[in-house]
Amino acid sequence: MIDSSIRFSVAPMMDWTDRHCRVFHRLLTRRARLYTEMLTTGAIIHGARRRLLSFDASEHPVALQLGGSNPRDLAEAARIGEDFGYDEINMNVGCPSDRVKGGNFGACLMAEPQLVAECVAAMKQAVRIPVTVKCRIGIDDQDPEVALDTLSRAVIAAGSDALVVHARKAWLNGLSPKENRDIPPLHYDRVYRLKAALPAVPVVINGGITSIAAAKQHLDHVDGAMLGRAAYQEPWRLLSVDPELFGEAAPHATMHDAIEALMPYVERELAAGTRLHSITRHLVGAFHGVPGARAFRRYLAEVCTKPGAGTDSLREALTIVEPRSAAPIAA
């Protein structure tokens, strides 16, 4: 039986889905699976481990996404992640950035399915929690029918517990990382065919999904849907995840209520030396489409970025927006 906890997730996004973002998102949905930003094995093994990996207990279920291609290093980083309490280890085989390509991890590994399989096998031996792979449907001149099937079967044979598939190719030669998020066409049908060919394998679809309603449509064909930029830039959408996809009430009725519930966390973080802006930068899209949203964003940018700004500043920002207004969350 496929675990229902993969039914909806928020994508790992560099510079966005840090621990403050995830705590905020958890106040909008109890059921979504959350992901860290991609962290390289080198950073975890040799870097400031506690700073990189610590997270709030409220974030569960939360997955650690790893970037790397050395099976031994990935196994060690996965073991460290498990010790920190993560619920899943996810291997990045989809990021198209130049830095990732230069380090021989991310989307370029689509060309090395056997190496990816070896990495998965090493991580599976090292940890007891699920190990998953996030990939593209192919890269550059690869035939997606062959490339995705070859990679998927290799990593499943090695023990991968699920596949998360961004339904676009990545063009490592000719397109920038930003262009790779939009220009290659989406081929959702290719991911549907993968699921049909591997009915016992949990398959999550990602790429270009802009609403909970759209995510729900994909669930007719696959086991899970993952939102990226839409979830981050318009976080109010997450208030409808639990009611629409899990038949449960949202943790908070409105965005005002959710941000009020965030205040104790903000106070703890400020006391620990975190700057308010490190948290409030994730709230910029909270009131998209609501009267006062522009003034709210301006207040966050002009006041909440000042040294010494505290919860009083955030509460003042909330007064700018109509208190019980809500964006059309089913849109």
Task: Read off the tokens for 127.
Answer: 């940890």
Residue 132 near residue 159 (C-beta atoms within 8 A):
no
pLDDT surpassing 80 at residue 17:
yes
Say how far residue 159 (Cα) sits from the centre of its chain: 22
Task: Read off the tokens for 203.
Answer: 């398959």
To the nearest whole percent, how much of the chain has pLDDT over 90? 87
Number of CB atoms found within 10 A of residue 219's CB: 14
Q: Known catalytic residues?
A: 95
> Tens of pLDDT along 168-185?
999 988 878 778 777 889
Tell me how far apart the alpha carbons of residues 298 and 46 are, in angstroms, rounded to a whole number: 39
Pairing of strands 203-206, 224-227: parallel
pLDDT surpassing 50 at residue 139:
yes
Task: Read off the tokens for 86.
Answer: 């993560």
pLDDT surpassing 50 at residue 26:
yes
Q: Which long-range contacts (CB under 8 A, 24 or more apart) does 310-316 make?
A: 310/267, 310/270, 310/276, 311/263, 311/266, 311/267, 311/270, 311/276, 313/276, 314/259, 314/263, 314/266, 314/276, 314/280, 315/263
* Helix (H) or strand (E) segment spanning residue 186: none
pLDDT band at 330 (very low <50, low <70, confident <90, very high): very low
pLDDT surpassing 50 at residue 23:
yes
pLDDT band at 322 (very low <50, low <70, confident <90, very high): confident
3-state secondary structure of 322: coil
Say how far residue 146 (Cα) sits from the centre of its chain: 27
pLDDT surpassing 50 at residue 331:
no
| Cα dihedral 13→14→19→20 (10° resolution) | -90
DSSP string, 2-55: --GGGSEEEPP-TTTS-HHHHHHHHTT-SS-BEEPPPEEHHHHHHS-HHHHH--
Average pLDDT over the chain reads 94
Tell me how far apart the alpha carbons of residues 108 and 67 are, in angstroms, rounded to a whole number: 12
Tell me how far apart the alpha carbons of residues 182 and 201 are, in angstroms, rounded to a whole number: 28
**Rounded to two decimals, what is the model's pTM?**
0.94
What local confidence, expressed as pLDDT, does residue 105 receive?
Answer: 82
Pairing of strands 39-40, 62-67: parallel
Q: Where are the alpha helices (DSSP H) in the chain?
A: 19-26, 41-46, 49-53, 71-84, 98-102, 113-126, 144-157, 177-180, 188-197, 212-218, 229-233, 241-246, 255-271, 276-280, 293-302, 311-320
Tell me how far apart the alpha carbons of residues 209 and 231 are, in angstroms, rounded to a whole number: 9
> Tens of pLDDT along 98-137?
665 556 789 999 999 999 999 999 999 999 999 999 999 9
